[in-house]
Structure 1
């Protein structure tokens, strides 16, 4: 997803195109990893010194709600990244130090053989955590 595509989706949903929203999205366009609201605040502190954590978090939640960002949680903190443009079902392996991600095309749901009678599955989430080569060396 690009920033322009994300802005277009927000406009479709009735949200204004503001410089702050565009800059928030630019942070994610420049990174290929999960970021916390604190990471985003740090990235934008020079341009927007008074930008509150709550404003950032509220916007990130809106972006995730409308499918612009993917959301995960580890170490008690929500983290976000641009929604993948892979175009097919996949999962991620995530570095616990730097947040870099890689796609994993295998899905554990393919091998679930438990009887699901009486239960309608509406979705699932599967993530693998570990350390990338760079972080493991450090």
Structure 2
């Protein structure tokens, strides 16, 4: 996903184009990592001091519904990042310190074969590996 595609998708789905929405999408275009709603709120308050957490969270939820953003949960908190524009199926390594991600091109589902009975139809899956990137692994928090 990139800024232009994200804003186009918003317009195509009939949602208003606002400065606040553009600012949120621009932040994710600049950041190549997962961000919390609080991170987004802090960034937004520089230009929009009266913006509420509810406004930020509603827009993050909307962008997730429109598949502009994808989510994960790190340490009990929902985090967001731009949806991958990589056309092939993949999963992620996610740094728990800085939120950076790296693609995993192997899929564990391929190794499971077909363990599912006729009463269960898989419609999707997500595989994430959490740890610390090379830049963060020397951080005291990562060495605990």
Q: Deviations over 1:38-84 (max 9, x none)?
A: 01111122101111111101100110111100111121111000011
Equivalence for 1:129: 130
The structure carrying a bigger helix percent of its residues is 1
Equivalence for 1:79: 79
Q: CA RMSD for the aligned pairs? A: 1.0
Whole-angstrom CA distance in 2 between matches of 1:117 and 1:18: 48
**How much has 1:115 moved relative to structure 2?**
2.5
Secondary structure at the residue paired with 2:8? helix
**Structure 1 residues without counterparts, runs of 5 or longer:** none
Whole-angstrom CA distance in 1 between matches of 2:136 and 2:89: 27
Q: Deviations over 1:83-124 (max 9, x none)?
A: 111111100000001101011111000001352122100011
Whole-angstrom CA distance in 2 between matches of 1:37 and 1:87: 27
**Structure 2 residues without counterparts, runs of 5 or longer:** 140-144
Equivalence for 1:11: 11
Equivalence for 1:63: 63
Q: Deviations over 1:6-57 (max 9, x none)?
A: 1111111110111110000011001000000001111122101111111101
**Farther-moved stretch of structure 1 (1-10 vs 32-41):** 1-10
Runs of 4+ in 1 over 4 A off after TM superposition: none
**Structure 1 length normalisation: TM-score?**
0.96
Whole-angstrom CA distance in 1 between matches of 2:130 and 2:62: 26
Aligned pairs, number: 138
